């Protein structure tokens, strides 16, 4: 009996591999975004701690203007870093959207090829059944001729 062979099987394998690669890239970018967001949260916490420290010094009435200036400079620097980190996150999210779109498009291509393969295989099976039935009918007819 003849075995089913899909002519585009090689293409299907390549497309599946590419889809898996894109999926891994998406996961990698998602991890980077989460890591950057954690760092951003830490930066905001640093600013809150700096404000709390400055408030503590002001409450105690200590005249430590130089230290307060350092705290202000630290807060200013953290705000600058927060802006840079936010820009990095925005860029990563744009890249993530682009890769997700590519991955979805690749999955569509894979799905189309899989559906095509299934249809071709069903057609092949029906043709094989028809051939087998024809062979059986021919054998029965030949037997009738020989016996009859």
Count how many Cα atoms sit within 13 Å of the Cα of residue 90 in the half-sphere of its side chain.
6
User: Counting Cβ atoms within 10 Å, is residue 140 exposed (0-12), middle (13-18) or buried (19+)?
Assistant: exposed
Q: What is the CATH number of the domain that holds 48?
A: 1.10.287.1700
Q: How far are the Cα atoms of 6, 27, 36, 43, 64 from residue 48, in angstroms, in the given order?
A: 63, 32, 19, 9, 19
Q: Which of 62 and 57 is assigned the larger pLDDT? A: 57
DSSP state of 148: -
Chain center to CA of 28: 8
Domain-located, residue 64: yes
Domain-located, residue 28: yes
Per mean pLDDT, which of 60-69, 71-80, 83-92 is the most reliable? 83-92
Least confident of 9-13, 49-53, 122-126: 49-53
Q: How far are the Cα atoms of 39, 91, 96 from residue 84, in angstroms, in the given order?
A: 12, 11, 18
User: Counting Cβ atoms within 10 Å, is residue 133 exposed (0-12), middle (13-18) or buried (19+)?
Assistant: exposed
Domain-located, residue 65: yes
Number of domains in the chain: 1
Domain-located, residue 49: yes
CA distance 53 to 78: 15
| pLDDT tens column, 30-49 | 999 999 999 999 999 989 98
CA distance 103 to 113: 15
Task: Please report which confidence band the pLDDT of residue 1 belongs to, taking 50, 70 and 90 as the band edges.
Answer: low
Q: Which domain holds residue 30?
A: 9-112
Q: What is the mean pLDDT of residues 114-121?
A: 96
Look at residue 68 and tell me whether its pLDDT is greater than 90. Answer: no
pLDDT in the model for residue 114 = 97
Tell me the whole-structure pTM to 2 decimals.
0.74
Domain-located, residue 117: no
Task: Please report which confidence band the pLDDT of residue 7 belongs to, taking 50, 70 and 90 as the band edges.
Answer: very high
Domain-located, residue 122: no
Task: Please report which confidence band the pLDDT of residue 59 belongs to, taking 50, 70 and 90 as the band edges.
Answer: confident
Domain-located, residue 121: no
Domain-located, residue 73: yes
Q: How far are the Cα atoms of 14, 15, 113, 114 from residue 109, in angstroms, in the given order?
A: 11, 7, 6, 9
């Amino acid at each position: 009996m003849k075995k089913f062979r899909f002519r585009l099987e090689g293409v299907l394998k390549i497309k599946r591999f590419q889809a898996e690669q894109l999926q891994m890239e998406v996961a990698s970018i998602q991890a980077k975004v989460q890591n950057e967001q954690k760092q951003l949260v830490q930066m905001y916490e640093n600013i809150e701690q700096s404000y709390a420290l400055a408030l503590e010094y002001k409450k105690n009435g200590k005249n430590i203007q130089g230290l307060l200036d350092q705290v202000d400079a630290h807060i200013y620097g953290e705000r600058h870093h927060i802006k840079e980190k936010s820009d990095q996150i925005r860029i990563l999210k744009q890249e993530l959207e682009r890769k997700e779109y590519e991955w979805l498009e690749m999955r569509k291509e894979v799905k189309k090829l899989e559906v095509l393969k299934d249809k071709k295989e069903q057609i092949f099976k029906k043709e094989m059944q028809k051939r087998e039935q024809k062979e059986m009918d021919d054998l029965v007819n030949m037997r009738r001729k020989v016996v009859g």
